[in-house]
Amino acid sequence: IMFPSEVIWGLFFIFQISIGFMGNSLLFMLCVCIFLDKNHLKKPIDLICIHLTSVNALTILFKLIPDIVSSFGVKHFLDDVGCKATLYIYRVTRGLSICTTALLSGYQAITISPIHSRWAWLRSKLSTCIYSSFLFFWITNMLIYSYIIETVEANHNVTIVGLEYSTLHCQTSQLRQNHSVAFGSVVIIRDLLFVILMMWSSLYTVNLLYKHRQRAQHIHSPSLSPQSSPEIKATHTILLLVSCFVFFHCSNNFIVFYVFHKPEKDSRLKRITGIFSSCYPTVCPFVLLKNSKITSKLTSSLSKLRIIFS
């Protein structure tokens, strides 16, 4: 039996997955066009954006598609193997999104740092560290969430009571307490490390922007105006992106923590968790598209492609 409220939830999930997947696909294709078409202008930030949009799109798909199916009355459509695969890919790609956002924030902070800064020596090494950073992120997150393969099983229409993690279609099996505590501790430590990196790079960037504005006002030079620098505009975009990430990530973790410790699991709270966990991947491409530098590159690349194909 389908209830009107479940249909509304399902329609909202469809709207969110459509907007998020479309935005990430658009930015992904744009960055790929820039990366391939303007070979002499390509920068590591283009590669970081390609990786970020890829993992964001996968996060949205593997989180919201099962929720959409459940909302339209198809219950228990995932068996144990399906639950393990779906939740594992979702958690790995979500972890990769966290790591890549921190890398993007750190990259932008180093890019705009002054020549005499203590971090200036890293600028020449950025392009060589991108691929090794991606490899490190993938291996780390795949190892962390291998715990899911062992513990997750399908939700067999049983009322879940107590300290158990569950979604609309999956739940954790009963295992020893010390295993779950160790897994939770590792995830929290990883999140804290990368969030601290984001906050540090953001504060460092804000301090640089403030000093830049003060210097521009002091000498009244139009060439130092923050609006005239593409790097400054890109930095504003990254700061907005980090702010969105911190807000949605903290909000989602708070809801998950509340649901985990709630004696009886509420399906509405599970759906709200799904919405908040997909908000950042949905908003991310549109925040990055605000960057006039990316937009101008995109317009130029599309114009050239249109001329070639015509």
Helix (H, G, I), strand (E, B) or coil at 240: helix
Interval 17-39: pLDDT, tens: 999 999 999 889 888 877 777 66
Sign for the pseudo-dihedral over CA of 202, 245, 58, 82:
positive
Q: Contact 264/161 with Cβ under 8 angstroms?
A: yes
Q: Give the C-alpha separation, 303 to 145, whole Å.
A: 43
- CB-count burial class (<10 Å; 0-12, 13-18, 19+) for 108: buried
Q: Which position has the higher pLDDT, 273 or 100?
A: 100
Interval 237-287: pLDDT, tens: 788 888 888 899 888 888 888 877 776 667 788 888 888 889 999 999 998
Question: 116: which residues sit within 8 A by CB, 6+ positions away?
Answer: none
Alpha helices of 112-176 — where are they, by DSSP H? 126-144, 146-151
How crowded is residue 177: how many other Cβ atoms within 10 Å of its Cβ? 9
Q: Contact 170/153 with Cβ under 8 angstroms?
A: yes
